[in-house]
Structure 1
Amino acid sequence: MNTVKTAMLIAAMTALFMGLGFLVGGPRGMMVAFVVAAITNLLAYWNADKMVLRMHHAVEVDERTAPEYYGIVARLAANAGLPMPRVYVIQQDQPNAFATGRNPENAAVAATTGLLQIMTPEEVAGVMAHELAHVQNRDTLVMTITATLAGAISMLGNFAYLFGGNRGNGGNPLGMIGMLLGVIVAPFAAMIVQMAVSRTREYSADRRGAEICGNPAWLASALAKLAQASGRLVNAEAERNPATAHMFIVNPLSGQRMDSLFSTHPDTQNRIDALLAIGGGGGDGRFMPGMAPTQTIRSDDAAGGPWSRGLDRNKSQSDGQSRGPWG
């Protein structure tokens, strides 16, 4: 996502704010919505990353408090030619991760404790390479602003109860119909905002992430584990703040596994097949977590990426596929 697309998204969301404000409170509501949108846009640009990290109770770590996790991110960032991002851990059993920040110089990556517990170092590398790909592609600004605006748009439904249908107060020319439209449209508007960040960005980040870590099978294996575990475990913070769902590597919300029109993520198996096709695995059949990378890609790729010597491969093999080095 480039600067032009970001500006277009902000302009479109401002217009949506004003349109819903008109439905709720007429010309006065439209002006109030414009002011709210302007303030929200400014806050989203400068502080949305901090807000999202705080929303999910992320804790910053360093090479002293999480040496292996931090070291993996550092080596990946160097491999991608990116500045070192801030690194966070989220105390959450559901395995997941996301990146945020308005630019590579102000980026942050976060992984849940659930992810760090079930993944091998190679799989953690695949996941974090995917997140760094979002940083490098400058998806994070759009993703973070979208999360903030989606939450703000949802709040307009509440404003409808206060201002809708009151001609004396809000000047709403549509009366009760305007209120009802505001209540009904606001949740769908928030969903559309999430969809405004194209699902194709995930495929792009998968491909670039495979290049950064040097082995597409690492991310493919991680995605297979994520698909299985995320469906069984509920992320309470994500359920309370669904506007941030599109930021995660896999959908953190329950009951959304299908590659449907309103899904914020592509089907995970489709992503795995695309990764295996990069590595020569062809994508025939389903990738299972118990399968080693050498079973799914060409033998010349099986040795790992250009920095694989920095990982404790012997430890990952002895720990097996069920527990990572942080388990």
Structure 2
Amino acid sequence: MSPRLTALHARMVAAVLALAFVTVALLVGVWLVFFALFIAVDPGGAAGFATLFTAFTLVVIGYLEYSHLETIERFADATPVAPSDEPELYRTVTKVAALLSVPVPMVALADRDAPEAMAVGFRSETVHLVLSRGTLEALETADELEAVIAHELAHVRNRDAMVMTAVSTPVVLAGGLRSRIESMEEPGVLILIVGPLWFVSSALWVVGRTITARLSRARERVADRAAAEATGSPAALASALRRLDGEIADTPNRDLRAVSGVSSLSILPLEPRELEKVMLGPRGDVEPSFWWLRKRLHRLERRLFGSHPPTEERLAALSSLERERSGR
């Protein structure tokens, strides 16, 4: 195993351990809030009541968050197609699936210009490979398409969807608790509870999301390397990433916002690189308030919470891998 890949695995292990710490911190933080409330009422039973209310709160938040998730195919507006409808595409998918030793997935096509490519599903036997028409049109060679499909099926082989869903649980719970507290219009006396809960959930949401994003970036790098090794052509994947990145840069912000719900799952982030500046005033010549600050916060958010490494870094890693292979 190369030193570069060993370092990636070490980073992923560190991220998982850090997220385990975040989970414990969330449980302890919520428990302490309830314990401080009940100890003034019933010192003897405070610990038991705090444990019961902590479990109830997190179970309810978890149910509300996950029960409202729609299928990714619906988010992506993708429709499954049969092999008879897209025989050439299925031949390519079948070939790549054999290279990576995974079952051949069902292919779903999205009638969108934004370059989407993602593997959806927890179990390899039920995965859907979602591709947009924009992706198929942007890629100019069969090798580029194979490389993109290999990247997505590498995620399937590595069970990334299952792993990322599992490790994101504390982030989902903290974010759900935080958003529901913020939606309370007049908490009244409950502010004594929801105030500390908001602080705990917000802090752990930021920390947890940062760690989750770091893990996601590491798994993207691993999928890049696996795809390059399976197809034997790091240059093909680099070329595909370069073309798709250019397509995303040329896609209007309104179209990117329409696919933002699946951005973290796609081969490249489907998000505007910069905030869209909308001038205000009767003549449209007034800059939005604190625009300089909002731009910097947006860049900080992308740096902390970005689910993918910068494309330039991925291209550099693939170029290095190409040199390694040519030097053998």
| TM-score, with structure 2 as normaliser | 0.67
Q: What RMSD over aligned residues (CA atoms) do the two structures have, in Å?
A: 4.1
**Contact kept in structure 1, 2:235 and 2:318, CA below 8 Å:** yes
**Does the 8 A contact of 2:115 with 2:132 survive in 1?**
yes
| Aligned counterpart, 1:33 | 57
**Residue 118 of structure 1 aligns with which residue?**
138
Partner of 1:62: 82
1:17-73: per-residue Cα shift (whole Å, max 9, x none)? 6567669987586334321355479x68xx97x722222222112212222222211
Aligned to 2:305: 262
Aligned to 2:259: 238
CA displacement at 1:84 relative to structure 2? 1.1
Q: 1:85 to 1:119 in 2, by over 3 A?
A: same
Structure 2 unmatched ranges of 5 or more: 1-8, 38-49, 275-298
- AA in 1 matched with 2:248: S
The question of whether the paired residues in 1 share the 8 Å contact of 2:26 and 2:200 is answered with: no
State the distance in 2 between where 1:57 and 1:147 align.
Answer: 24
Q: Deviations over 1:219-252 (max 9, x none)?
A: 110010122111231422333x3xx432221111
Contact between 1:29 and 1:170, CA under 8 Å: does it hold in 2? no
Give SS of 1:260's match. helix
Note if contact 1:130-1:205 (Cα within 8 Å) is conserved in structure 2.
yes
For residue 13 of structure 1, report the CA deviation from its aligned partner: 6.9
1:140 CA displacement: 2.1
Q: Does the residue aligned with 2:305 lie in a helix, a strand or coil?
A: coil
Distance 1:33 1:5 in 2: 29
Q: Whose radius of gyration is greater, 1 or 2?
A: 2
SS state at 2:108 partner: strand
- Partner of residue 203, structure 1: 221
1:134-173 correspondence to structure 2 within 5 Å? 134-145=155-166, 153-161=174-182, 166=187, 172=193
Kept in 2: contact 1:164–1:170 (CA 8 A): no
State the one-letter code of the partner of 1:65.
D
**1:1-327 map, 5 Å:** 15=24, 18=27, 27=50, 30-36=54-60, 39=63, 51-120=71-140, 121-145=142-166, 153-161=174-182, 166=187, 172=193, 177-178=195-196, 181=199, 184-185=202-203, 188=206, 191-192=209-210, 194-195=212-213, 197-233=215-251, 234=253, 235-239=256-260, 241=261, 244-255=262-273, 260-280=303-323
Structure 1 position 165, deviation (Å): 8.0
Amino acid across the alignment from 1:231: A
2:290 corresponds in structure 1 to none
Q: Residues 231-276 of structure 1, C-alpha deviation per residue, up to 9 Å, x if partnerless?
A: 231422333x3xx432221111112799834322112122112212
Residue identity matched to 2:313: N
Contact 2:19 2:212 in 1 (8 A): no
Please give the secondary structure, in 2, of the residue aligned with 1:228: helix
Would you say the 8 A contact 2:15–2:215 is kept in 1?
Answer: no
With over 3 angstroms needed to count, the CA separation of the structure-2 counterparts of 1:179 and 1:33, relative to structure 1, is closer
Q: Cα 1:63–1:229, aligned 2, differ >3 Å: closer, same or farther?
A: same
The TM-score normalised by the length of structure 1 is 0.67
Q: Secondary structure at the match of 2:241?
A: helix
Moved more, 207-216 or 22-31: 22-31
Provide the C-alpha distance between the structure 2 equivalents of 1:194 and 1:237, rounded to a whole number of angstroms. 23
Distance 2:14 2:129 in 1: 23
Distance 1:7 1:182, change over 3 A: closer
Q: Percent of aligned positions with the same letter in both sequences?
A: 26
User: CA 1:38/1:181 → structure 2, altered by over 3 Å: closer, same or farther?
Assistant: closer
Q: Which runs of 5+ in 1 are unaligned?
A: 283-296, 302-327
CA 167–21 in structure 1, closer or farther in 2 if over 3 Å, else same: farther
Deviation at 1:134? 0.9
Q: 1:203 to 1:158 in 2, by over 3 A?
A: closer
| Larger relative helix fraction | 2
Quote the Cα distance in structure 1 between the aligned partners of 2:79 and 2:22: 31
For this pair of structures, how many residues does the alignment match?
Answer: 273
Paired with 1:186 and 1:10, the residues of 2 have a C-alpha distance of 10
Structure 1 contact 85–105 (Cα < 8 Å) conserved: yes
Relative distance call for 1:192 and 1:264 in structure 2 (3 A) is same
Aligned-partner Cα distance in 2 for 1:83–1:55: 24
Q: Distance in 2 between matches of 1:90 and 1:134?
A: 20
